[in-house]
Amino acid sequence: MNKDAPALVVEDATAGIGPLTILDGVSLELGSREVVAVLGANGAGKTTLLRTIAGLLPPRRGSIRLFGEPIEGRPAHEITRAGIGHVPSGRELFPRLSVADHLELGGRLSSPARRVELRQRMLEMFPALGQRLGQRAGTLSGGEQQMLAIARALMTDPRVLLLDEPSTGLAPKIVLSVFQTFPLLRKQGVSILLAEQSLTLGLSAADRAYVMDQGRIVLSGNAAALAEDHRVVDTYLGR
Amino acid sequence: MRRRRARRAGTARREGASEVGTLALQLLVNGILLGGLYVLVAQSLNLIFGVMGVVNLAHGSIIALAGLFTYWFSMRTGLSPLLVLPLALAGGAAAGAAGQRLLIEPVMQAGAKAGLLSLIVTFGLSYVLIELALQVFGSDFVSVPYLQSSWKLGALAFGKALVVAGAFAAVMSALLYWWLNRTYSGKALLAASQSPTGALSCGIDVARVRLIAFGIGVGLAAAAGVLVIVIMPVAPQTASDLTLLAFVIIALGGLGDYLGVAAAALLLGIAQSVAGYYLGGNAEYVLPYVLLLVVMLAGPGRFRRLG
């Protein structure tokens, strides 16, 4: 691992399912302790990009490096172990397992001492989960489920966190409370790649952003600058 | 005179009631013991179905093959059939793991077609195992004559073989439940069955979990075969009945619901015990088929994968 290298570099990544190409030559960079948003309308390829980085979909072409170390083509569980935490679209919780089980399963990669520390940190970050430790994940509210999905990913002690549309189906107040954890995560050395359909939310939470359309990056830049750029809205509207 | 007759009638009624009570208790206990064995028969399939989404149609063949091997071993050596249990568990697990790696895992990579292809593979495997059993052991129904006397407790009599088989099966099922719910590796298996993507995001090697689940599932099925042949006759052609029995129990209890499946197995055991006594003949063997129809009509959704 090269500590001076960017947290994550994706170069010319192409991926798809069967004959369908969903991701077409995508390149992006995520700096250490940076929050970068990947924006785009539904079907732009955001989820496929995150799934490809997480190893759930092998890239057909291109490279992916985590702090300089190539990870493309490695199995998904090994990529998690290498330091990429993934909060998948739809959360992918274990509905019949308890909140405590989720934290235990996520924390298994760490030493027992580190696991205790991470668990404590999660319960401070998401106090609602502390009151529901014995409750089955399938019975939690949408907001609590999202918090649990993030906490489970953070229990793997990642250096890069991939967040796939965390705002989907959540009340604005809950979304805000999820995004409010970003400064704390940054302070803890976690870099965040956030896939988000909502322009306002994505740009308000990120330092920089990439805009995707039909599997390609069509715009990129500083979040504040992109917020003023009419081309972003044009891309969303297919103009 | 009238008082004496009334007293006699009262005594007869009490005795009659007591006999009915004893019979009910006897049928209940027999049913629970039989159900204990069914728990093991069903949980092994539940494990594979729940974790991998693979409908293992070779399940009954594995049980029958292990049972027939137990018969052969016991007749040849004169030793207790229970001595085959550890061998069946270990041998079944090893064969299951090898079969999973060679036959099932390649099929699991086929995406949307994986379910259908695994069905075809296990269907073919089922016939290979049945033919193997026919060639090696013949087509006769056989049962191991083991512990054929009964233990008496008041008016109740418990077939020793049924008690031993039911108890062993119940203990193994309880250990499986404990392992799944109390250990990290067991929880990892439950996690992989409820969300493979979620499990991968925890760093769980889902392919390895599938291998373990299939190995344990086949090992437990083989162990069930050892216990089944102690209490009922088995032939290679029994295989499909055993697969169906396990399916009915899973359908009743709920896929992936280990407590639900245990309760369903006990209920089926009791129902068969009662039906066998009151309706006689083949009623107890027809019961699972009738229940399957009822379940399919009432709620086929129970077959759907959880999570």
Structure confidence at residue B14 (pLDDT): 59
- Return the bridge partners of A10, or none: A28, A64
**Between these two residues, B10 and A75, which has the higher pLDDT value?**
A75
Q: Please list every residue in chain B whose beta carbon sits closer than 8 Å to the beta carbon of residue A75.
A: 205, 207
Cα(B100)–Cα(B218) distance, rounded to whole angstroms?
Answer: 10
Distance from B173 to chain A by nearest Cα, in Å?
19
Distance from A231 to chain B by nearest Cα, in Å?
35
Taking an 8 Å cut-off on Cβ atoms, the answer to whether A92 and B198 are in contact is yes
Q: Summarize the confidence of residues B27-45 as an average pLDDT.
A: 89
The pLDDT tens digits for B117-127 are 888 999 999 99
Structure confidence at residue B277 (pLDDT): 83
Q: Please list every residue in chain B whose beta carbon sits closer than 8 Å to the beta carbon of residue A95.
A: 194, 306-307
Token reading at A68: 């300089």
B186 touches chain A (CB under 8 A): no
The overall average pLDDT reported for chain B is: 86
- Return the bridge partners of A65, or none: A9, A70
CA-angle at A137, arms to A133 and A158, nearest 5°? 80
The pLDDT tens digits for B127-169 are 999 999 999 999 999 999 888 788 888 878 888 888 888 888 8
Cα(B206)–Cα(B191) distance, rounded to whole angstroms?
Answer: 9
- Return the bridge partners of A163, or none: A87, A194
Taking an 8 Å cut-off on Cβ atoms, the answer to whether B190 and A96 are in contact is yes
Cα(B183)–Cα(A152) distance, rounded to whole angstroms?
Answer: 18
Question: Does residue B300 carry a pLDDT above 70?
Answer: no
Structure confidence at residue B6 (pLDDT): 61
Question: Does residue B61 carry a pLDDT above 60?
Answer: yes
Q: For residue B289, which of B303, B268, B273 has the smallest C-alpha distance?
A: B268
CA-angle at A35, arms to A32 and A41, nearest 5°? 135
B305: pLDDT confidence band, cut at 50, 70 and 90? very low
B206 touches chain A (CB under 8 A): yes
Taking an 8 Å cut-off on Cβ atoms, the answer to whether A97 and B190 are in contact is yes
Question: Does residue A20 carry a pLDDT above 70?
Answer: yes
**Between these two residues, B261 and B108, which has the higher pLDDT value?**
B261
B261 touches chain A (CB under 8 A): no
B16: pLDDT confidence band, cut at 50, 70 and 90? low
A99 touches chain B (CB under 8 A): no
Helix or strand (DSSP H, E) at B159: strand B156-159
Q: Please list every residue in chain A whose beta carbon sits closer than 8 Å to the beta carbon of residue B190.
A: 94, 96-97
Q: Please list every residue in chain A whose beta carbon sits closer than 8 Å to the beta carbon of residue B185.
A: none
The pLDDT tens digits for A132-191 are 999 999 999 988 999 999 999 999 999 999 999 988 877 888 888 888 889 999 999 999
A86 HSE (CA, 13 A, CB side): 30
Q: Summarize the confidence of residues B37-51 as an average pLDDT.
A: 87
Structure confidence at residue A167 (pLDDT): 85
Q: Summarize the confidence of residues A185-205 as an average pLDDT.
A: 92
Taking an 8 Å cut-off on Cβ atoms, the answer to whether A156 and B256 are in contact is no
B184 touches chain A (CB under 8 A): yes
Structure confidence at residue A169 (pLDDT): 75
Structure confidence at residue A140 (pLDDT): 94
The pLDDT tens digits for B231-250 are 889 999 999 989 988 988 98
Q: Are A95 and A88 in contact, with CB atoms under 8 Å apart? A: no
**Amino acid at site B170:** A
Question: Does residue B303 carry a pLDDT above 60?
Answer: no
Provide the strand spans (E) within chain A. Answer: 8-17, 20-30, 35-39, 61-66, 69-70, 84-87, 160-164, 191-196, 208-213, 216-222
B304: pLDDT confidence band, cut at 50, 70 and 90? very low
The pLDDT tens digits for A42-53 are 889 999 999 999
User: What percentage of chain A reaches a pLDDT higher than 90?
Assistant: 72
Question: Does residue B221 carry a pLDDT above 90?
Answer: yes
Q: Are B303 and B255 in contact, with CB atoms under 8 Å apart? A: yes
Q: Please list every residue in chain A whose beta carbon sits closer than 8 Å to the beta carbon of residue B191.
A: 94, 97, 101, 105
Q: Are A87 and A95 in contact, with CB atoms under 8 Å apart? A: no
Distance from B174 to chain A by nearest Cα, in Å?
19
What are the structural domains, with CATH classification, of chain A? 8-83+158-237 (3.40.50.300), 98-156 (no CATH)
Question: Does residue B307 carry a pLDDT above 50?
Answer: no
Distance from B130 to chain A by nearest Cα, in Å?
37
Q: Summarize the confidence of residues A215-238 as an average pLDDT.
A: 85
Structure confidence at residue B13 (pLDDT): 59
The pLDDT tens digits for A56-114 are 999 999 999 999 999 998 999 999 999 999 999 889 999 999 999 999 999 988 999 99
The overall average pLDDT reported for chain A is: 91
Centre a 10 Å sphere on the Cβ of residue B298 and count the other Cβ atoms it contains. Answer: 11
Centre a 10 Å sphere on the Cβ of residue B182 and count the other Cβ atoms it contains. Answer: 9
Q: Summarize the confidence of residues A30-51 as an average pLDDT.
A: 94
Report yes or no on whether pTM surpasses 0.90. no
Distance from A237 to chain B by nearest Cα, in Å?
32
Q: Please list every residue in chain B whose beta carbon sits closer than 8 Å to the beta carbon of residue A109.
A: 202-203
ipTM for this prediction: 0.91
Taking an 8 Å cut-off on Cβ atoms, the answer to whether A85 and B201 are in contact is yes
